[in-house]
Amino acid sequence: MTEPDFLAATRTAYDAAAVPYAELVGEHFPTDLIGHAMLSVLAGRVRAAGGGPVADVGCGPGHVTAHLNSLGVAAFGVDLSPEMIALAREAHPGLRFEVGAMEDLRVEDASLAGVLAGFSIIHTPPGHLPRTFAEFRRVLAPGGHLLLSFQAHDRPAEAAEAFDHKVSLAYRYSPDHVAGLLEQAGLTEVARLIQAPGEDPVRGFPHAHLLARR
C-alpha cells in the first residue's frame, strides 16, 4: 500500500520525542487509576474468553503492554516509531514489540483475542478512521474485545476537532461518533467510561475509554 502522509509525519514526530514521552508516561501511568480500571476490564474479558494474543497498537514505550502481561494477558506491542519500539524492547526484553501500522497489522484474520489502542487513534485524521476500525474488526476473533482510549469532546454534532498536541497534529473525537463508526465496522459497544475534563492536567479535555466486542 502507499503510505498516507499522516503516518510518515506521526512516525517522524514520535521518533524525535520518544525519550521525553517515555519519561512522561513513566511518571503518569502508575497513578492513572481510571485508565487502569478499563485495562483490567479488557484483561478480564480476554481471560474469561479463554485468553489469546492481544495487540497493543500504538504501544509507545511499551508500559501498557507490560501491564497487560502482568494481568495475565499475552499482549504484544506494535508502533509506527522505530525509536519507540527500541525503547519498549530495552525496557521489557521478554516481550514482543514490532514496528508497524495499526491500519495494516501483520496478523491473520480473526487471530486476536483483543486489541488495545491507547491514545493512538488521535493522530488518525477523521476520514481514515473507518479503515482503521475495519482492520481491528478483521484481526479480532469472534467475541474478541477492542479498548479504545482517546481525548474526546462533548459536541456530538462535530465529529472531530484538531488540537495542538505537543508531538504531532492530533484530533479529539466525539465518543458517540466513534461508537457509531465502530458499529458500522461490525464492533458493538460494550461499555464506555468518560473521564471528566478536570482530570486531564495537561489540556483539560475529557478522556473516553470505549470497550467494544466483535
Ligand X SMILES: C[S@@+](CC[C@H](N)C(=O)[O-])C[C@H]1O[C@@H](n2cnc3c(N)ncnc32)[C@H](O)[C@@H]1O
- d(Cα 30, Cα 125) in Å, to the nearest integer? 30
- d(Cα 176, Cα 99) in Å, to the nearest integer? 31
Whole-number CA gyration radius for the chain: 16
103 or 140, CB closer to ligand X?
A: 103
Residue 64 in contact with ligand X, rule: CB under 6 A: yes
- d(Cα 129, Cα 131) in Å, to the nearest integer? 5
Residue 42 in contact with ligand X, rule: CB under 6 A: no
Residue with cell 508502533: 79
Residue 84 in contact with ligand X, rule: CB under 6 A: yes
User: Can you tell me which of 102, 112, 182, 212 binds ligand X, judged by CB under 6 A?
Assistant: 102
Residue 114 in contact with ligand X, rule: CB under 6 A: no
Burial group, residue 29, by CB count within 10 angstroms (0-12, 13-18, 19+): middle
**In contact, 79 and 96? CB cutoff 8 Å:** no
126 or 143, CB closer to ligand X?
A: 126
Question: Measured at the alpha carbon of residue 206, what is the angle toward residues 205 and 208, in degrees to the nearest 5?
Answer: 135
Instruction: Pick out residues in 126-165 that bind ligand X (CB under 6 A).
Output: none
We find the least distance from the C-beta atom of residue 50 to ligand X, in angstroms, to be 25
- The amino acid at residue 122 is I
Residue 60 in contact with ligand X, rule: CB under 6 A: yes
55 or 141, CB closer to ligand X?
A: 55
110 or 202, CB closer to ligand X?
A: 202
Residue 14 in contact with ligand X, rule: CB under 6 A: yes
Interacting residue ranges for ligand X, rule: CB under 6 A = 7, 10, 14, 25, 57-60, 64, 78-81, 84, 101-103, 118-120, 123
